[in-house]
Structure 1
Amino acid sequence: MKKSYKNCEVSIITREKKKDIRQNLLKIEIAQELGLWEKIQQDGWGELTAEESGRIGGLLRQRLKK
């Protein structure tokens, strides 16, 4: 969402959006560490196996708890 203030455009990011951005960046970081990022870029997140998705999700949960 953007608001104009005295001829300037200001982006407003809600807490939820910041949380989503943080989670997505962490997911990508974890995928890179696990060597899955190239596969995701080529085929998309939907092509990961349940095991691969579980690894990413488990590590994501651990890091978000910190």
Structure 2
Amino acid sequence: MKKEKKEDRSSVKYEVAQELGLLEKIDRKGWDSLTAKESGKIGGYISKKRFK
């Protein structure tokens, strides 16, 4: 299995954040402003997409 490039992972994070409606918050306040629940949703969604 190939390792993903850092840019690829970052772009997926932004894509998922947009799909979940969190991108505006991230743009305004940064990634640190996300709650643990919001961060977990992003991580879970990325994992789901990766293993589909």
Equivalent residue runs for 1:55-66 within 5 Å: 55-66=41-52
Structural RMSD (CA): 1.6
- The answer on whether the counterparts of 1:23 and 1:60 sit within 8 Å (CA) in structure 2 is no
Unaligned runs of 5+ in 1: 1-14
Q: Could you say which structure has the greater relative contact order, defined with CA pairs below 8 angstroms and 6 or more residues apart?
A: 2
Work out the CA distance in 2 between the residues paired with 1:49 and 1:23: 20
Q: Which runs of 4+ in 1 moved over 2 A?
A: none
Higher helix share: 2
Q: Look at both structures and tell me which one has the larger radius of gyration over its CA atoms.
A: 1
Select 1:42's aligned residue among 6, 21, 28.
28
Give the TM-score normalised by the residue count of structure 2. 0.84
Residue deviations 1:16-48, cap 9 Å, x none?
A: 6x6211111110000001110000000000110
Alignment-mate amino acid for residue 48 of structure 1: L
| Structure 1 partner of 2:40 | 54
Aligned residues: 51
Unaligned runs of 5+ in 2: none
